[in-house]
Structure formats: C-alpha cells, structure tokens
Amino acid sequence: MSADAVRSLMVSASNSGASTPKSKLDTLSREDLVRFVKKQLENLGKARKEIASLKDGRELLESELKESLEAKEVIIESLQKERCEERELKDKELAQLKSEIETLRANECHMEPQTDIDEPCDVETLKKEHEAALEALKNELALERGKWREAEEEEREVSDNLAAELGQIKQMLHMQTETLQKKDEENKILSAEVDELRSKLEDVEEKLVSIKEKQSAVSVLSLEMADYERSIDNLKKELKEANVILEQRDVQIKELNEKLKQTENEKDKMSATATKMKAVIVKLKKQSEERKESSERLEKDLTSVEQRHEQTRIEWEQERVRLSRTLGEQGEKIRQSEQTVSNMQMQIATLRSHREALQRQYDDITMEYESFKSKARYVLEQQKTTTQTDTVSDSDYKQLKVQMESEVQSNSTLSERCSSLERELSELFSYVESLKRETDEKLSRSEEQHKQLMTGAEARVSSLLNQNRHLKLEVDDKVSLLREKEREIRDLRHEVSLSQQESKRALGELGAERRRREEVESRAAQQIINTPPKPAVNRSNPQSDVELARRVNRELLQKPVVSRFDDAFNDENMLTTEVDDRPLEDVIFGEESEPTYVVPRLTSSQSSSFTHVVDADQLQTQLSHTAELLKETEENNALLAEQIKVLKEEVRRLERNADRAEHVANTEYLKNVIMKFLSPEKVNDERPQLIPVLTTMLRLNETEVEALEKSSRSDETEAQDASSSLLGGYLHRWTGFS
C-alpha cells in the first residue's frame, strides 16, 4: 500500500463522518448524554411511583364504595322490613274493622224484629256507632296516607342519594382512568425518548469505534509502510530474533483465534437471543391485539349495560309517573266520596232534626189525645146526668175521632218516612262499604305494583352491581397481565443490555488485542531496526547468485515458504529450507511439519546471497500473511458490527411498530391531527406545530420529518401567494390601478 491509498482512506472517512446528519443530541458530549439519560430514567421512576400511588388510591376508593353500598343495602333492607311490619299492622287493623262492621250488621239484623217503641233509641245508637267508626276510619286513612307519602319521600330521597353517589363514583373512576391513561402515555413517551437516546448513544459509540478503527488502520498502514521500507533497507539482519518474535506472534495469533471463536460463540448467542426476542415481540403483539379486542368487547358491553340502565331508568320514571297519576285519581275519588259522605251526613242530620220535630209533634198529639180521652170520659160521666149535652158530646166525639184518624194517618206517614230514612241510611252504609272496598283494592293493587317495581329495581341494581364487580375483576386481571408484561419487557431489556455489554466487552478486548499486536509489531520493528547488520560475505560468482535468487523467487511465488533456521548462521556451509503446500492459516497458526526436501549445499557466496533473498522473501510473505489476517479480522469485525447494527435496527423497528400500533389505536385523535395538518382550520402556521405530534405518534424518520416540513413550507408559500394575489385583485378592484 502507498501514501495515496492512505490519503484516500482518510478522505473517505472524513466524508462519511461529514455526510451523517447531526442533531442536538449528537452535538452533546458523552457525559451530558449519560446525565440526560439518568434524568429521563429518574422521571420514569417518578412516573411509575405516581401510577402506583394512583392505583392504591383507586383501590381505596373501590373499598370505600363497597362499604358504602353495603351500608346502604342494610338501610334499604331495614326500611323494607319496617314497611312490611307496618303493612301487616294495617292489614290486622283492617281485619279488625271488618269484623266489627260484620258484628254491627249482625246486631242490626237482630235488632230489626224488636218493638216500635225500642226502634228510635236503637237506631240512634247504631248511627252514633257508625259515625264514630266512620270518623275512626277517616283518621286511619289520613294517617296511612301521611305514612305512605313519608315512605315515598324517603324512598325518593334514598334513590336520589344513591343516584348522586353513583354519579360521583363514576366521575371519580373516569377521572382516575383519565389520569392513569395520561400517566401511561407520559411513561410511553419517556420510554420512547429513553430508547431514542439509547439508540443515539449506541450510534455515537459505534461511530467512535469506527473512527478509532479507521485511525488504527491508518496507523497500521503507516507502520507497515515504514516496516516495508526498513525491511527493504535492512535485508541483511539477523533472523533469530525475528523467529522468536514470530513464535510470540504465533502464540498471540492463537490467543486471538480463541478470542475470535469466543466472539463467534457470543455472536451465536446474540443471534439466538435476538430470535427469542423476536418471538417474544410477536407474542407480545398478539397478546396486545387480543387485549385490545377484549377491551373493545368490554367497552361494547359497558355501552350496552349503560343503555339498558337508561332504559330501565326511563321505564321506572314512566311507572312512577303512572302511579302518581293513578294515586292522584284515587285521591280525587276519595275526596269525592268524602264529599258525598259529608253531604249524606248533612242530609242525615236534617232528617234527624225533622224526625225529632215530628216526634215532638207526635208526643204533643198523644198528650192531647190522652187529655182528650180524660175529657171524654169526664164528659161521658157527666152525660149520665144531663141529656142536653148529648148532642154536643156526640159532635165533639166525632170531631175528636176525625182528629184522631188524622193523627193516626200523620203518624203512619211519619213511620213510613222513618223507614224510608232507615233504608237510605242502609244504602249509604253499603255505598260507604263499597267505597272502602274499592279503596282497599286500589291500595292493595298500588302496593303490589310498588312491590313489583321495587323488586325489579332491586334486581336490576343487583345485576348492575354484579356486572360492575365482573368488570372490576376483569380490569384487575388486565392490570396484572400488563404488570407481568412490563416485568417480561424489563427482563428482556436487561438481557439485551447484558448482551450489549458483553458485545462491547468483546469489542473492547478485540481492540486491546489489536493494540497489543500493533505494539508487539512496533517493538519487533524497532528491535529489527536497532539490531546491528551482519558483516557482508565475499561473493565469488555474482551471476550465479542472481540466477539462483531468480529461481528461488519463482518457486516462492508458486508456493508459500516457511523456513526454520536453527544453527544456520553458525555453520554457513549448510542451508536447509522447508517448502510445503499448506493453506495460509496452517502456515501462520499451525505447527511446522518436517521438511519435504533439502536444498543442496552451496558455496559460501551462493549461500549468503540465497539467505539474503530467502530472508527478504520470507519476511515479505509473512508480512503479507499477517496483513491478510488483519484484513480478515477487520472484515469479520465489520461484519459483526453491521450485524449488530442490523439487529439493533430490527429491535428499534419492532419497538417503533409497537409504539405506532399503540398510537394508531387512538384512531380518533390521529384522524383529527391528520385532518388538521391536511386542512388547517384557521391559519397555516398550525402545520409546523403538528409535525412533532405526528413524529411522536407515527415514529417518523428524519427524512420523513424533513418532507413534512417542506410540504408545510410550500403550502405556506402558496397560501401567501394566494393571499397576495387576492389583495392585489382587491386593490385593483378598489382603485382601478393595474
């Protein structure tokens, strides 16, 4: 190799370094990058701690909610028991009242066949008893209505409180889920930033390694050039020290081969781990898709449950309105019946007063009749004495008889009127009983409907609570699965970091070995330079020496030569060479075999010239072999570095795909962002603001980001041109100037 090749390599390295685009993170130093990564990791730890605290708070709220629901269920059960006890007491009281009414009816039936003299007092007592029973029934009805209304108000208050508390709990759950989602998004963003920073750190380290390798290659090439020049100038130096150095190099090369084998084994392990990671990533993708499907199903179930809940609530409200209407109608009917009862009571009072007046008249007439009887007896007694008064007494008797008949008729009419009034009273009592029966039936129906509604509402509430519990259990299972996945991802990342550390360690060891080889070569070159040259030997026949050197050069070009000089320099008359058809690796790394043939003895001049030529050729071949081995090792290292880069890019691509899938799951937000970018609502300046959002969500490359920026700039220039053209057109219209 020449100096021109070295310069071309330096220029290509500088061009390759200049062609790579630099970002803000590339300009930072390694310590600043490490600090930035540590800060990001601390932020990640803080965010995870906050998420854990939020989850603990959520669990506490759920436990409090369960306790409050259990307490409210206990209160509702106690209220239901009290209502049942009150209903049983009311039923018992109604049965007692019915039995009393039946006994009163039986007493009325038994009292009817009594005498006319005892009838008025019995009717009055019965009326009083019936009036007292009616008043007691009215009071009981009013009390029952008040109690029923109070119970309804209490139930409404309890239902309203339950609905309000359920709404508050739902709001709290929504708020907590939103905060958890925000924290998860922040964690994802921070993890993405950390991954980007790690990738950039790795890229920077790879660039540094490549630059160091290039510098080492350049230094090696310069040293080789110097060695070649010095070896050409100093062909007559001793070979014993060179043989010792070559043996040391052979040992070192063997060690390097072992280390290369170790690196190959580590490479195989890395490839196996990479395949495992790919399989794990595929599994994680499948699991994430399944979880997304399950989450969508759960959301659909939640929406259906909410719709059913709303339907039940609407039906319950309709039933409540209908019951309120029926209760209002029943109340109006009860009021009408009360008004009729009050009217009948007024009529009964008027009839009683009229009857009392008639009774008084009847008593007066009976008194007059008795007095008239006494007078008639007295007159009849006096008629015996006087005959003149017979005509008068007869006329008076006739008049009295007529009066008596009229009184008897009036008494019969009064008795008929009393019987008709009694019939009307019995009809009124039967009507009141029928009204009571109707009110009891309506109350029982309303109570049954209320019971049915309460049972239906309780069943629906219990079903909703069960569904909520199942959903909570599913959410807890998902959270546990996500935690397990996070642990697996952490383990995988730890394994990746360990493998990266191992690869870095292997690369460091390779670099150290390479430096050590370079140092050994430089020391050997210095030793060769510092060794004094051997005195020249007299050459008797220079032409024969030249011919022999040419022949040996032809043979060396055809076959690789490895020679060992044990004591050739002590005895210059003998020279043995070893020529073997072996591969390059066996020549450099393998043990030397027995010589295949022996060069015939030469004269002193021929042997000295031959030794010089053979030494030079052997040194050149060995140097070429070592250079080829170095090239092969560098190529292998470059291939390993490229494979590591490809694996890293594949891992990053998979992580980006996963992040993209997670971001694409939020299709509504992504759609809104894309629509705003394509057609901004107000100003075109919104597009540059949306570019970082699109880059984070879609994980765009630098070229894609530059394309988006160019498109936004071109759209802005077009909008400005359009606005300027519009302004020019408006000016032309307003002013008339072109």
* Residue bearing tokens 């350049």: 218
> How many angstroms separate the CA atoms of 621 and 263, rounded?
28
pLDDT of 109 reads 60
Question: Residues 25-40, buried b or exposed e (16+ Cβ, 10 A)?
Answer: eeebeeeebeebbeeb
Nearest to 207 by CA among 416, 199, 108: 199
Question: Residue type for 35, please?
Answer: R
CA dist 59 to 173, 176, 341, 601, Å? 11, 11, 63, 99
Q: Contacts by 634-639 with C-beta closer than 8 Å and gap 24+?
A: 634/213, 634/217, 636/260, 637/213, 637/507, 637/510
Nearest to 220 by CA among 458, 653, 507, 521: 521
> How many angstroms separate the CA atoms of 59 and 66, rounded?
11
**Band of the pLDDT at 13, cuts 50, 70, 90?**
very low
- CB neighbour list of residue 246: distance below 8 Å, 6 or more residues apart: 622
CB 253 within 8 A of CB 548: no
DSSP 685: T
SS (H, E, C) 377-436: HHHHHHHCCCCCHHHHHHHHHHHHHHHHHHHHHHHHHHHHHHHHHHHHHHHHHHHHHHHH
- Average of per-residue pLDDT across 596-616: 47
Maximum CA extent, the chain: 230
**pLDDT per residue over 58-89, tens digit each?**
788 778 777 877 877 787 787 778 778 877 87
CB 660 within 8 A of CB 621: no
> How many angstroms separate the CA atoms of 456 and 250, rounded?
93
* Residue bearing tokens 């160091």: 212
CA dist 343 to 132, 338, 357, Å? 17, 8, 21
- CB neighbour list of residue 150: distance below 8 Å, 6 or more residues apart: none
**Band of the pLDDT at 145, cuts 50, 70, 90?**
confident
Report the Cα–Cα distance between both ends of the chain, in Å, rounded: 72
| 3, two tokens | 């100096």
* Residue bearing tokens 């070229």: 703
Residue 317 burial class via C-beta count within 10 angstroms: exposed 0-12, middle 13-18, buried 19 and up = exposed
More confident site: 489 or 598: 489
CB 108 within 8 A of CB 126: yes
DSSP 536: P
DSSP 14: H
**Band of the pLDDT at 720, cuts 50, 70, 90?**
low
pLDDT of 110 reads 58
> How many angstroms separate the CA atoms of 133 and 205, rounded?
105
Distance of CA 67 to the CA centre of its chain: 25
Nearest to 498 by CA among 284, 191, 277: 277
pLDDT of 23 reads 53
CA dist 642 to 143, 276, 601, 638, Å? 94, 20, 54, 6
> How many angstroms separate the CA atoms of 535 and 42, rounded?
73
CB 674 within 8 A of CB 301: no
Residue 567 phi/psi, 5-degree rounding, is -135, 40
**pLDDT per residue over 301-360, tens digit each?**
778 777 877 887 788 888 778 877 877 887 787 788 778 777 877 877 888 887 788 888
> How many angstroms separate the CA atoms of 706 and 714, rounded?
12
**pLDDT per residue over 393-441, tens digit each?**
567 777 777 877 887 787 778 778 777 877 877 787 787 788 778 878 8
Element (H, E) at 659: helix 604-665
Lowest-pLDDT choice from 3-17, 110-124, 657-671: 3-17
Element (H, E) at 455: helix 389-530
Angle at CA of residue 164, ends 158 and 165, nearest 5°: 90
Question: Residue type for 106, please?
Answer: A
* Residue bearing tokens 């009083």: 128
CB 214 within 8 A of CB 2: no
Lowest-pLDDT choice from 81-85, 254-258, 619-623: 619-623
**pLDDT per residue over 456-476, tens digit each?**
767 776 777 777 677 778 777
How many residues does the structure list for the chain?
Answer: 738
3-class secondary structure, 267: helix
